[in-house]
Amino acid sequence: MKRDDGGVVNNPLRANIAQTLERERARRGLSHMHMAELFRTAEGEKLAYRTYIQTVRQKNNVTLTTLQIMANGLQLSFAALLAGGKKVPEWAHRLDDNAIRKRLARVIDFERQRRTLHRYEMAELIGVAEATFTKLERASGNISVDTIAAIARALKLDPATFLFSEKIPPGGADT
């Protein structure tokens, strides 16, 4: 995705995440430094302050792993971070980063079959290399919000809510 003159990428998911972080920071009355302190991994490592600030400024391509750390630290759901206040089904608030990867894989597979496309054609449509498409299809790799938004844009779906659509066939324990 391309940056504007201010270095910001036009990605509604980045905007939703930044707005949610700022809303939570204001609600909690925290400085940026104290807000960043909330983001620790399970091993006790902190998410870099720079990563947090760049996320708030919409200047970095946040990955699902980073979002999981932020969601855990804020005790929010992925859905709350990605949807940015848009209404999503209640079950969507129980999804973690692995469940999001699996749902994205199901969306891609569902849309590919609905459009009767070969895998290489679907990879071209969503604008990724075939190797990347294979990872997406297998629900593996550390997917970024820019990739998710690009897929939504290519499929003409709302990037903030398409992963939480009731139209996606259920699978696994995430729904």
pLDDT of residue 169: 60
CATH architecture observed for domain 12-87: Orthogonal Bundle (1.10)
Give the C-alpha separation, 56 to 8, whole Å.
11
Mean pLDDT in order along the chain per 10 residues (175 residues): 59 94 96 90 78 92 92 92 90 92 93 93 92 92 91 91 79 46
pLDDT of residue 3: 53
pLDDT of residue 174: 44
Instruction: For domain 97-164, give its CATH number from 3.20.20.140, 3.30.1330.10, 2.60.40.10, 1.10.260.40.
Output: 1.10.260.40
pLDDT of residue 4: 54
- Of 118, 116, 153, 114, the C-alpha closest to 133 is 118
pLDDT of residue 136: 94
pLDDT digits (tens, 9 = 90+) for 109-124: 999 999 999 999 999 9
Domain 12-87 and domain 97-164 have a common topology: yes
Give the C-alpha separation, 157 to 142, whole Å.
21
Indicate the domain borders of the chain.
12-87, 97-164
Q: Is 62:17 a contact under the CB 8 Å cutoff?
A: yes
- Of 28, 29, 101, the C-alpha closest to 65 is 101
